[in-house]
Amino acid sequence: MEGKLTVAAVMGDGQMGLVEEDIPATAAGCVLLEVKSSLVSPGTELRGWRGLAEDKARPSAGARPRPFGYSNSGIVLEAAEGVEQFQVGDRVAAIGGGYARHATYALVPQHLCVALPDDVTFDQGAYAMISSTALHALRRGDPGFGEYCCVVGLGLVGQLTAQLYQLAGNYVIGWDMIGRRNEIAAGWGIDATVVDGLQDEVELTHAFTHRNGLDSAVIAFGGDGTAAVEKLTQVMKLSPDGHQMGQIVVVGGAYIDLPATLWNVDIRRSSRTGPGYHDEDWERGLNYPEVFMRWTTRTNMELCMRLIGEGKLDVDCLTTHTMPLERIEEEIVAIISEPDDILGVIFQMNR
């Protein structure tokens, strides 16, 4: 298919704009999509909504437009050689940096796409990347049924990770310094929340666990996570010999300076959406044997779409703003002055 596409770009001055590019030529193992919806992932794409507001206050001179995005949904327009699971007209969710951008058209490797169930909308399908990232964090944490978990950072990944831990039979408390995020989590039914900095996280979490201590925790934010780990270890399980026990999964871009301790706490990193992502041969069609690797990026995505369709994973409550792609410059300006009121932002196109 020849022609032009329109893609959203960060302009370097706290603004967003649109850039025109050629529609990419189809390539083996890929599908060309007419994109209908895309989801902004503010933590990795923008340094958070506060980061965009800071750029507006202190613009970078000479910055060039930076097209961005890695999670969208749409309709298959072309299926290239080697594509067996999709046909023209199929509704799909798609992910991938450099592929599933905030654009009117996208060329995406087939294994970074999954079919949308009939009861999942394009807006909901755009949550494929974020929800799969949260699901992989759950798998890395491997929680037991009936355990206590704390999720620190209730952005998009943190909200969905907390939902999944509850689906897995855990009691979950969330910490975040932005009160609006705690309100959203309370709206979908998180067990408890704490406003970090305004309430005593340690005491309230001790009470939440009935003084038994946390079994696990998830750090779902970027930046220095040392203080969060220090607070979390104060409320982890404590053995009779005085050792904190449990595990902490770091799913966000946090870094941690670990002092010498007597902890028996496992710290695990959780990267991306599961096995396969960034393996080009796999992305374009080479399967891993399911008997050895049941859960890949693609099967995680499929499960997330099923959970959304069944109403077990709520992404609608996370979407605070929806706007046409062609109006993002004006719409972002209108909302960025209150960055803490923004969570999930959906761009819609080809409507």
pLDDT in tens, 40-85: 998 888 877 887 777 776 777 677 889 999 999 999 999 999 999 9
The reported pTM is 0.95
201-208 and 226-234 helices, crossing angle to 10°: 40
Q: Say what the pLDDT of residue 262 is.
A: 63
Tell me the average pLDDT across 97-101: 96
Looking at per-residue pLDDT, the higher value among 282 and 49 belongs to 282
pLDDT of residue 349 exceeding 70, the answer is yes
More confident residue, 336 or 189: 189
Q: Is a pLDDT exceeding 80 seen at residue 14?
A: no
State in words which class domain 131-269 has: alpha beta
Full 3-state SS string of the chain: CCCEEEEEEECCCCCEEEEEEECCCCCCCEEEEEEEEEECCHHHHHCHHHHHHHHHHCCCCCCCCEECCCEEEEEEEEECCCCCCCCCCCEEEEECCCCCCCECEEEEEHHHEEECCCCCCHHHHCCHHHHHHHHHHHHHHCCCCCCEEEEECCCHHHHHHHHHHHHCCCEEEEEECCHHHHHHHHHHCCCEEEEECCECHHHHHHHHCCCCCECEEEECCCEECHHHHHHHHHCEEECCCCCEEEEEEECCCEECCCCCCCCEEEEEECCCCCCCCCCHHHHCCCCCCCCCCCCCHHHHHHHHHHHHHCCCCCCHHHEEEEEEHHHHHHHHHHHCCCHHHCCEEEEECCC
Model confidence at 119, pLDDT cuts 50, 70, 90, reads very high
Mean pLDDT calculated for residue range 179-197: 96
Residue 48: per-residue pLDDT: 77
Q: How many CA atoms lie within 13 A of 239 on its CB side?
A: 9
Q: What pLDDT is recorded for position 258?
A: 80
Q: Do domains 4-127+275-348 and 131-269 have the same CATH topology?
A: no
For the stretch 148-186, pLDDT in tens is 999 999 999 999 999 999 999 999 999 999 999 999 999
Residue 93 has pLDDT above 70, yes or no: yes
CATH of domain 4-127+275-348: 3.90.180.10
What is the percent of the chain with per-residue pLDDT over 90, rounded to a whole number?
Answer: 81
Q: Which residue has the higher pLDDT, 336 or 245?
A: 245
pLDDT band at 199 (very low <50, low <70, confident <90, very high): very high
User: What residue ranges do the domains of the chain occupy?
Assistant: 4-127+275-348, 131-269
Residue 47: the pLDDT is 77
Residue 211 has pLDDT above 80, yes or no: yes
